[in-house]
Amino acid sequence: MIQITPQMLIYVATVPIDCRKGIDGLTSCCKHVLSKDPFSGILFLFRNRALTCLKVLVYDGQGFWLCTKRLSKGRFSWWPTPENDATGVVLEAHELQTLLWNGNPTRADFSERWKRILV
């Protein structure tokens, strides 16, 4: 079971992937496309081009977890856009929970303690 904690780093790939990829293909994307270490414990989130499928990849110290959510109808209504040619963005745990339920984390009304502090 994957436990998502507020301290966990969640990295979202902004470019679509081929959702037929398994653990080996996604770890390769982490290394070569996102320039991140897949063994670091970062939770990686990927999407397909049609925005109907999400894949979560995370290493828990013993092995990889790969989870898929495919919508039976409709599309995911929100996805982050790349900033300054970045291939990924960081989300917080509560934003990921909202996204997985097909919500828009930028429009959700989180309590004050959960809002990101802009420096």
Considering its fold, how many domains does the chain have in total? 1
Q: pLDDT tens digits, residue range 70-83?
A: 999 999 988 888 77
Q: pLDDT tens digits, residue range 41-58?
A: 999 999 999 999 999 999
Q: Looking at the predicted structure, is the pLDDT value of residue 102 above 90?
A: no
Flag whether 3 is in a domain.
Answer: no
Q: Looking at the predicted structure, is the pLDDT value of residue 84 above 80?
A: no
Flag whether 1 is in a domain.
Answer: no
Flag whether 34 is in a domain.
Answer: yes
Nearest C-alpha neighbor of 29 from the set 5, 7, 55:
55
State the residue range of the domain holding 56: 10-73+84-114
Q: Looking at the predicted structure, is the pLDDT value of residue 17 above 90?
A: yes
Amino acid occupying residue 17: I
Flag whether 66 is in a domain.
Answer: yes
Flag whether 29 is in a domain.
Answer: yes
Q: Please write down the long-range contacts of 50-53, taking CB distance under 8 Å and 24 or more positions apart.
A: 50/75, 51/75, 51/76, 51/79, 52/76, 53/19
Q: Looking at the predicted structure, is the pLDDT value of residue 114 above 60?
A: no
